[in-house]
Structure 1
Amino acid sequence: MDYQLLSKYKYNDSGAIRSVEAVEREYQERLNGYSTVVSRLVPTLDIDLYAQVAKYPLFFVQTTSLLALVNKIFRHSAEIQDLSNTLPGVASEIYRRNLLTQEVYYTNKIEGVDVTKHEISTIIGDLDSKQAPQKRLTSTVRLYNSTTSGRVVSIHDLTDIRHIYDQLLDGEIPDSKLPDGQHFRKQPVYIGDELKKVHTPPRTESEIQESIISLIKFMNNDDILDVIKAIVSHFMFENTHPFYDGNGRTGRYLLSTYLAAKFDTYTGLSISTAIHAEQNRYYRAFKQADDYQNRADLTLFITQMLTIIVQGQQDVIQNLRVLTEQLDAAATRLHQQLSDDIQWTVAFVFAQSALFTEDAITGVKDTELVEFLFNDDPKRYHKVSVRRPIQELETQGVLHMIKERPLQHVIDDALIQK
């Protein structure tokens, strides 16, 4: 029989409701089972529209299906790393930028923030430009970019949480919704709208601080599998809802960067896209986990989130396989058309850029290409000499200029099959 939450377990197969004592016995058996992990986290659970309770320790049962999903995530991550390791350097970086665009786009889309992928792509394309003006979402993009490029996020106290929030959402939160407490909000809120309340989190800043302090201790506990710890932390952060606005985006950022650090960058940058595709399942899992009848049982919440992570990984694997085949085909066509080795190398870099990004503006810029080739072989690809084949390829119609400052070319569509 499939694992059931207590809110469903109380209705047995005959339709009669199990007694309170029977449900309590089942709860105690789960809580004290050999495969159960009981934490010191105590989420705020909803009894009804007005009443909440915070007395049940958060726990989960390591079911066979849950552990199978964990194993699948490890296998998928290894496959993603194998596939990405076969990519040329530019293709790998451009694909990371593409996933970064989608991650920032969808984490905002989930919250109803009006934004386009082109806006985000433009910011990513200008990250290294000192002349680029500050735009909305620039702070979000910069923080995602730095943490998914290898910088590990360390969280040891309340100030660290607030610092991440301030960095991530700088300029994105209206003044009326900025935190008004020492670190977090001071006033009570509820999640949902006027017609349908979904969850009422801790009401006072002292309650929020107590919850977040426990969460930080949990996040730094190495006795729990990393992916499960990340999911439990994600739930607990959203359950606490420490800010008036921006909790979802902050929570998904923490989840994304943690997965990127513990598994691979592509897994970390596919989580919001996968959540958006399963948005109803995502919110339903939260609602069930917030229900006091289930007594802080996170087994099915973890299982649902693991499933979403796996789906995101599967999409990445499928994309990488297809794009690798297309890149191989483009290389063959370029060999047939170009006899000059340096011209072919330059054109092949632009082919990688075109295939591995959705928006040309986030593709490789001319200065980036020159720098990349020079670092690869400074004797063969001198910075001055590389600019000449770019001009020659433009004259031949192989490349087309799309931007002057900074100078940027793209390869002709006829030479790739995107």
Structure 2
Amino acid sequence: MEYMHKFHYKHSNDVEKEFKKRMESTNIEKLDLTICPFRSNKNLNLYFIPTLYTMNLVNNIEKNNSLLRELSLLLPDGAKESLHDDIIANELFSTNQIEGIKSSKKEIVQSMREIKERNPKKPRFYSMLKSYLKILYSDNRLPRTTKDIRDIYNNITASEIDEKNKIEGPLFRKESVNVVTVTNRVIHEGVNPHYLIEQKVQELLNFLNEDNKIEMVIKIAISHYYFGYIHPFYDGNGRTSRFINSLYLNEEYDKLTAISLSRSIDNDKKTYYEIFDTTNKVINRGELNYFIDKFLGFIINGQKMLIEELKIKKSQLEHAKNIIMYDENLNKLNDSYKDILFIMAQIFYFSSEEYTTVQSLSKYVDLSEKTLRKFLNELIDMKYVVKEGIRPAQYKISEDFIE
């Protein structure tokens, strides 16, 4: 089936006939969600038709999810935690990149470390990081009310919204807002006034949470479009919406699938913005197939990137494990030396940071910090470990040793 906007350009004389045919299709999904395209007085009901192509995309997501689960299932604890921290750092960095927020992956990783070490001073992105960490390590409550959406927005955008974009309404913005291109051409106006924003956000939540035959991942794709259409905040809509997507993806799939969306979108922002613009147009007549298919493609691409990286990292770790296992010098010492090095190899390959601290290492080995420091100093003398800094001292496995 050709997407409606493409059909319009290719067969303009037959558009009405084709639209009627789609509306009368036996498998059409007509939604209780409406839009009014920019500079138009037409109210359009959103709909999509489940095609074989779309269902194949859903199946691909399922297959990739199973493979991700299989690749990560038997990872040792150090590798697993390092991997989780790395994908959160990637996701936050990418979601900031999409929105034009200046941050570095190093800064995000440092903030995450401070949170885990219970530093009393709240670092930058504190609320945002805590929210994503909860997806990995806690039970999450899915949003049900408009206030839940405002709470998520507060956490995801805390301290990162300019004063001029602060929300002055009870839950959402009071004034109108325009979405513009890089050349400042207005392409969309968010829903207005406040009561209508509330109404449409609640309609969106009802759609997401209702039990029906529509595949959840398709509902997530639709919700992402509709949240962008409503545009309930002056700034931070994309970050908030992508986090909500992660919450719902986490209910259906592996955590790695749930937290790989922003990175994929960041790799093709041009397409990301284009699918919103196309779906908003009058000539598209409320059809969601194009947006759904492209959005599912973003999920798949995020999964594929992680799958390839995991395969490489697992191969590298296995290589390092064999070197550690059969090293003649280490075989003369007790097994704790090997344990320490294997943990450091996991962090080296799976973490955003190659270096680690005594405090971090002590979580994985049954040694006091004093004994751990002693063993590390011996491994430094053997040139198996490299040390950097003093307070705190940081350690990493020697690349010459494992490579």
Shared fold, TM over 0.5: yes
Is 2:5 the partner of 1:45? no
Q: What residue number does 1:212 align with?
A: 201
Alignment of 1:242-391 (within 5 A): 242-337=232-327, 338-339=330-331, 340=333, 341-360=335-354, 364-374=356-366, 385-391=371-377
CA contact (8 A) 2:178 2:188 kept: yes
Q: Percent identity?
A: 27
In the alignment, what sits opposite 1:233? 223
Unaligned runs of 5+ in 2: none
Indicate the larger mover: 388-397 or 249-258.
Answer: 388-397
Instruction: Tell me the residue number matched to 1:3.
Output: 2
Change (3 A) 1:298 1:407: same
Tell me how far apart the structure 2 counterparts of residues 52 and 156 of structure 1 sit (CA, whole Å).
31
Give the match for residue 400 of structure 1. Answer: 386
Q: Does the 8 A contact of 1:370 with 1:386 survive in 2? A: yes
Bigger CA drift: 171-180 or 239-248? 171-180
> What does residue 198 of structure 1 align with?
187
Match of 1:167 among 155, 168, 172: 155
User: What's the offset of the Cα at 1:195?
Assistant: 2.9
Alpha-carbon shift at residue 263 of structure 1 (Å) = 0.7
Preserved CA contact (<8 Å) 1:35 1:63:
no
Structure 1: stretches of 5+ with no match in the other structure: 375-380
Aligned partner of 2:202: which letter? I
Query: CA separation in 2, counterparts of 1:190 and 1:331?
Result: 55
CA–CA distance in structure 1, aligned partners of residues 184 and 236 of structure 2: 21
For 1:416 and 1:222, the matched residues in 2 are separated by 52
> What CA distance in whole angstroms lies between the structure 1 residues aligned with 2:37 and 2:62?
32
> Structure 2: which amino acid aligns with 1:366?
V
Q: Secondary structure at the match of 2:326?
A: helix
Q: State how 1:25-44 maps to structure 2 within 5 Å.
A: 25-44=17-36
Per-residue CA deviations over 1:372-397 (Å, capped at 9, x if unaligned) read: 234xxxxxx56665454233223323
The 8 Å contact of residues 3 and 289 in structure 2, kept in 1 or not, is answered as no
1:93 and 2:81 aligned: yes
- Distance in 2 separating the partners of 1:146 and 1:402: 31
1:400 is paired with a residue whose SS is strand
CA RMSD of aligned residues (A): 2.0
Runs of 4+ in 1 over 6 A off after TM superposition: none
Q: Deviations over 1:236-282 (max 9, x none)?
A: 11110000111111111111232233211111221111001121111
Worse overlay, 175-184 or 255-264: 255-264
CA contact (8 A) 1:52 1:200 kept: no
